[in-house]
Structure 1
Amino acid sequence: MPEEILRLLHLDANLVAIDKPAGLLVHPSGLDAHEHRTALKLLRDQLGEWLWPLHRLDKGTSGVLLFARNATAAREWGLAFEEGRVAKRYRALVRGWPDAEGTIDQALARDPELPSEGQPRLPSVTHYRRLATFEWPFPVDARHPTSRYALMEVEPLTGRRHQIRRHFKHIAHPLVGDATHGKGAHNRAVAEWLGVQRLWLHAESVELATASGVLRIVAEPGPEWRFSPAPRS
Structure 2
Amino acid sequence: MSIGIVYQDDWLVAVNKAPGLLVHRSWLDRHETRFALQLTRDAVGGHVYAAHRLDRPTSGLLLFAKSPEVARSLAEIFAERRVEKTYLALVRGYLPEQGRLDYPLAHRLDDIADALADPDKPAQEAVTRWHSLARVELPFAVSKQHATSRYSLARLHPETGRKHQLRRHLAHLRHPIVGDTTHGDGRHNRFFRERFGCGRLLLHALGLELRHPVTAAPLRLSAAPDHDFTALCDELGWRNALAGALADRVESGFSTDHRAFA
Taking structure 1 as the reference length, the TM-score comes to: 0.92
What does 1:69-80 align with in structure 2 at a 5 Å threshold? 69-80=66-77
- Structure-2 separation of matches of 1:214 and 1:54: 17
Aligned AA for 1:104?
A: L
Contact residue 93 and residue 152 of structure 1 kept, 8 A: yes
Q: Which runs of 5+ in 1 are unaligned?
A: none
1:36 is aligned to 2:33: yes
1:228 is aligned to 2:235: yes
In structure 1, what is the equivalent of residue 98 of structure 2? 101
- What CA RMSD, in Å, does the superposition of the two structures yield over aligned residues? 1.9
Taking structure 2 as the reference length, the TM-score comes to: 0.82
Contact residue 18 and residue 226 of structure 2 kept, 8 A: no
In structure 2, what is the equivalent of residue 60 of structure 1? 57
Q: Which runs of 5+ in 2 are unaligned?
A: 112-117, 242-262
- Structure-2 separation of matches of 1:176 and 1:229: 14
1:141, CA displacement in angstroms? Answer: 1.1
1:113, CA displacement in angstroms? Answer: 3.7
1:112, CA displacement in angstroms? Answer: 5.3
- Structure-1 separation of matches of 2:40 and 2:68: 17
What does 1:83-94 align with in structure 2 at a 5 Å threshold? 83-94=80-91
Q: Secondary structure at the residue paired with 1:127? A: strand
Q: Higher strand share goes to which structure?
A: 1
- Structure-2 separation of matches of 1:177 and 1:92: 10
Distance 1:103 1:205, change over 3 A: same
- Structure-2 separation of matches of 1:38 and 1:22: 11
Q: Secondary structure at the residue paired with 1:121? A: coil
- Structure-2 separation of matches of 1:140 and 1:25: 31
1:17 is aligned to 2:31: no
In structure 1, what is the equivalent of residue 256 of structure 2? none
Q: Higher helix share goes to which structure?
A: 2
1:29, CA displacement in angstroms? Answer: 1.6
Structure 1 window deviating more from structure 2 (190-199 vs 11-20): it is: 190-199
Identity of aligned residues (%): 44
1:110, CA displacement in angstroms? Answer: 2.7
1:212, CA displacement in angstroms? Answer: 5.2
Contact residue 112 and residue 162 of structure 1 kept, 8 A: no
1:46, CA displacement in angstroms? Answer: 2.3
1:209, CA displacement in angstroms? Answer: 1.2
Contact residue 93 and residue 175 of structure 2 kept, 8 A: yes
Distance 1:133 1:174, change over 3 A: same
Q: Secondary structure at the residue paired with 1:122? A: coil
